[in-house]
Every structure is written in structure tokens, then in C-alpha cells.
Amino acid sequence: MKRVWLAFFTALALAMPSTVAAVGQSGEAVDVRMPAGHMWKHGALDEQKWLEMVQTYTPEQADEWKKVLEERKALRQQLDDEQVKQAIKEKCKQMKKEREAALDRLIDQLADKKITKDEFKQELKQLHKKKRWMTKEEKQRLHMLHEHTRQAMESNNKEAMAKLLPQWLDYMKKENERLAKWLQEVKQG
């Protein structure tokens, strides 16, 4: 399970823009540079940086961003709860046992010639997918979103940022939903 969380948080860190362009008091663009994952390290600070970008490029979405960031903050607080941490640990053990049992069944079916090698490979691939937080396609889309955002910020491309921030908002909404659903599953046992 540690690997799943490590992969999740690594993906989040990699997904964050590596620079932030803000508007200074004089009205001119000010380039504020920070490491890629920095915006998620310090709760209020990361929210502030996202909201600064939103105010600069898509101010009409500010309320929606505030709502999504508050939800994300609440989900992170749930992850800090000791009972939730223990439930996550138990859920991970259970999931590992289920995957091992499914793998054993697959191997037995292959050995008993109830399935072909190709069917075994397909089933194994499906079993492996269940282990991941994100699919390869999702990771690639996230990487491209991050890269396009980085390029737009470096060139201070306001039109591109105005198109990319709504994509980030959609991504964060989906991740909040996914994390909330997963936390619910963990809490239910």
C-alpha cells in the first residue's frame, strides 16, 4: 500500500506546475519560481498559489477553485487521522491477499489447462491494472497537462493558461472524487 500512496503522491507532485506567474502591484507579470511539488507541501500556501494563478488567468472560476481546494484540504485531513491510517493499512493488506488469491487461481487454471496462455496474460494484465491508482493513459495525460502548463507559464502565455487551468480544475475534481470514494471504501472495511 505504501507503494500505491507513494505513486499517488509522486504523481501529484509531478503534476504540479514548476513555476507560477503572478501579477505584481504595478500590474506587470512577476515570475515566481518554485519546485514542481511545492504547491502541495504547505496546505494554505499551495491553495494561495493556485488561487493566485486562477485570479490572474481565469478569475471567473475562483469560487469553484476555492470549493475544490477546500474539499482537497478536508480529504488530506482525513488521511492524517490515525484511525484512517490504520484502516488504510488493513485495506491494503486485504487487497494484497485478494490479488494473491486471484493470481493463484489464474495459475491453477493455466496449469489445469482451463485457460490458454493468452487468456492468462489478459487476466494477469487486468489483475495488474487493479493494483494501480492511475492507468498509463491517465499518467500520460497528466504529464502532458503538466508539461503544457509549464511551457505556458514560462512563456507567460495567458491564452494557454486560460485553457489549461479549467483542465486542472477538472483533474482535481476527479482526483477528489476518486480519493473520497477510496476513503469511503477504506472506512467501511
pLDDT in tens, 17-35: 433 333 343 444 434 343 3
Alpha-carbon span 153 to 18, nearest angstrom: 9
Alpha-carbon span 128 to 119, nearest angstrom: 14
**104 is a domain residue:** no
Query: What does the buried/exposed string (b/e) look like for 77-93 if buried means 16 or more CB atoms within 10 Å of the residue's CB?
Result: eeeeeeeeeebbeebbe
Strand partners, 19: 33
Q: At what angle do helices 82-111 and 117-129 cross, to 10 degrees?
A: 180
**124 is a domain residue:** no
**161 is a domain residue:** yes
pLDDT in tens, 101-147: 988 998 999 898 898 899 888 888 888 776 667 788 888 999 999 99
Count up the domains in the chain and report the number.
1
**110 is a domain residue:** no
Q: What 3-state DSSP class applies to 117?
A: helix
Q: Is the pTM of this model over 0.75?
A: no
Alpha-carbon span 47 to 29, nearest angstrom: 20
Domain assignment of residue 182, given as a range: 2-92+134-188
Question: C-alpha cell of 96?
Answer: 494484497
**47 is a domain residue:** yes
Residue 130 φ then ψ, to 5°: -65, -20
Alpha-carbon span 183 to 78, nearest angstrom: 8
Q: Output the pLDDT for position 180.
A: 92
**182 is a domain residue:** yes
